Structures are given as structure tokens and as C-alpha cells.
Amino acid sequence: MRNSKSWYSISCFIGFVLLLSACNDADTEVEGGSNGESETEGEETVIAGDAEQVFRLTHTTPESHMWHQAAVHFGDILAERSDGRFGLEIYPAGQLGTEADMLQQIESGSIDFGFITAAEMSSREEAFSAWFAPYLFDTILEANEARESNEASAILNTLDSSNMIGLDYLFAGQRMMLSRDVKIEGPDDMSGLTLRVTPSPPMLQFYNSLGASTEGIPLPEVYSAAQTGVIDGMDMDLDATITNNFYEVVDYAAVTNHMVWPAVAVMNDALFDGLSDEDQQIVIDALDEAADFSAETRYEQEEEFKEQLRGEGMDVYDIDQTPFESEIAEFDEEYSAIDSLIEDFITAFR
């Protein structure tokens, strides 16, 4: 898992250049102290910027998305619990590059923390695919409880041989199916459709088993792909449908809630190891509270978000798992055979 020395140096250099350019682009005003006030100016959000140690965190979603709000919550708690010694700079919306770039920056130490999709993590460590077992959890509150389990921790521990540590999971909405012209009510409607799926092997596998053609398009390119008809629809969550204005380019939203959607909170491991036991605990507790905030807030917003999309003219409807039973069984069998951590996870929560 560790990179060669030269590749590591190149990564460090690229990370440094991207970070420098983001810092220059953003007209950042720093505010706060131990009261955890934050301010967003330009493109980054700074919490307690005059603290002794200001950590840097990056993620891929816009500032209106739940993961950004969770990051702000994390920063506020860090500042408060450390009596103002810790602050946080947040670089949202993929401004430091793709998630793969972010992981390199975290490993090289040019960025301290990332909230990285489990989808991206599943391309690094297959065990993260366990979270994408279809219909494993009815709600994100159930998934949020599962994040405390030994099975979920064992998946985080697969990162031990890298230069980062996996600390926690944060949930935004579950996945659903958006489409432009064809109302999806089951697998029969999906053959012949080209659907955008996050480029993650387990997610692509599920859609292919349903008979759809898939395009693995990263989030920032999805709007134009739908607008220009490159895709007929997409796998998405409610939050991202609203925060990326996808209701402007698709008409139907099948609220399948077929997969949960965790971000993995990762940190540069040397930085974590260099903290005192007490400060490590502050980081762990702050993430834990940010994760609960994220799942609970997002759970309460479900109906409100559906209504909001209806108000934008979308046909928003619920589908349960009945039409997808055989594909669920297929997924469990195939992925359980790949990795015992996935098998343990599915066995514990199915």
C-alpha cells in the first residue's frame, strides 16, 4: 500500500502546489477562538483560525451539503474542547482536486483530515464495499449505530498499512435513482438506460446486475452529463440532488434508499500519533459528535427534502426492495466471497 519514494515526493509536491493555489484563490478571513465561530470567505471555511494548531480538512461536497456542515460542527467542537488550542480550515467542494488527490495529500501530510466517500475508499481497500450491500439498512440512523460496531472498525483498520488512519464514518442521505424521461419502478425499466453511478466497483456492480449501462462519472461532471443527455439518469442522494440542482435536469426521483452513503473520516497518521492521548481523544470525540449530528439532522430532513424536490416539479415516489431481491442476494454472495470483512459485515447487519 505504501508508495515508492519518488512517487511519494511527487505527491507531496502536487499536494503542496494545489494547497498553495487554493490558499491564494480564497480570500480568507479568519475569525474566532475557543468560541468556535466560523467564517467562510472565498472558498474555505475557517474556525478559530488564530488557534495554536489549525488543522486542514478537505471534502468533495458543496458548502450546503451535510458533510460540510458536519465538518464545521467538528471544528467548533475541536476549538471548544481544546480551550481554543485547535482550529480548523475546511477546503470544500473538491477545490483541492479529486478524492484520489485528497487521499495523496492526506498521506503526504499537506492536508490533515479528509471526509472521503466510502465509494472512493472502496477503490483503495475493498472492505469498504461492505457499506454498499444493497438494502442492508432501512435508515441512516441504523447505519449510524452500525458505525460503532467491531465490524465497522475492522474495515477502518484496513488503512493501518497506509499513511493515514481511518477514524469514523459520517452519513448523508441514502442513495436513490434519478431519471430524465423513464420512470424507474424496477429492474425491467432499467435495461437500455445509461445511468451515472459513482465510480466505485460495488455500486457499478449493483446497477449492472439490474441491467443498466453505467457511466462512472465524478460528482462535479454529473449535471452537464444529464443536461446534454450523455446519461439517462443517475444514482444520487437527496442532499446532493438539491445542493447540485439536479432537479433542473432530471424529472423522476425513485426514493429507493437502496444504499447508505458514508464518508470516511481519515487523518494523516503521523499527525495523529504525534498528539497526546488527551488530544487524540478530543479529535475522536469531536468526530463522533459530528457524525451523530450529521446522521440525526439528515434523517429529520428526509420528508422536507422530498417536498422541496416536488416543489421544483419532480415526480418523487418511494420504491421498496421487493423488485430488487434477486440482485440483493447476488451482491451478498459475490462480495462475501471477496473479503471476510465484507462477509462479517453483511452477516451482522442483514
Task: Report the alpha-carbon distance of residue 165 to residue 6 in Å, rounded.
Answer: 22
All three cell numbers of 228: 446534454
Choose among 190, 197, 164, 206: nearest CA to 332.
206
Which range binds ligand BEZ by CB under 6 A, 106-114, 128-136, 177-185, 233-241? 233-241
Which range binds ligand BEZ by CB under 6 A, 41-49, 234-242, 265-273, 330-338? 234-242
Place of cell 475546511: 90
Residue 236 binds to ligand BEZ (criterion: CB under 6 A) = yes
Residue 215 binds to ligand BEZ (criterion: CB under 6 A) = no
Q: What is the CA radius of gyration of the chain?
A: 20
Query: Restricting to residues 54-113, which ones interact with ligand BEZ according to CB under 6 A?
Result: 60-61
Considering the complex, what minimum distance in angstroms separates the CB of residue 260 from ligand BEZ? 12
Considering the complex, what minimum distance in angstroms separates the CB of residue 266 from ligand BEZ? 15
Considering the complex, what minimum distance in angstroms separates the CB of residue 65 from ligand BEZ? 6
Residue 190 binds to ligand BEZ (criterion: CB under 6 A) = no
Task: Report the alpha-carbon distance of residue 176 to residue 296 in Å, rounded.
Answer: 19
Give the single-character DSSP code of 322.
G
Residue whose CB is less far from ligand BEZ, 28 or 144: 144
Residue whose CB is less far from ligand BEZ, 60 or 257: 60
Angle at CA 128, nearest 5°, toward 122 and 130?
A: 120
Q: What is the DSSP string of 269-312?
A: HHHHHHS-HHHHHHHHHHHHHHHHHHHHHHHHTHHHHHHHHHHT
Considering the complex, what minimum distance in angstroms separates the CB of residue 223 from ligand BEZ? 11
Q: Which of 112, 126, 215, 237 binds ligand BEZ (CB under 6 A)?
A: 237
Considering the complex, what minimum distance in angstroms separates the CB of residue 198 from ligand BEZ? 4
Residue whose CB is less far from ligand BEZ, 189 or 237: 237
Total binding residues for ligand BEZ by CB under 6 A? 8
All three cell numbers of 6: 519518488
All three cell numbers of 79: 476549538
Of all helices (H) and strands (E), which one includes residue 24? helix 5-25
Place of cell 464514518: 169
- List of residues contacting ligand BEZ (CB under 6 A): 60-61, 117, 198, 219, 236-237, 240
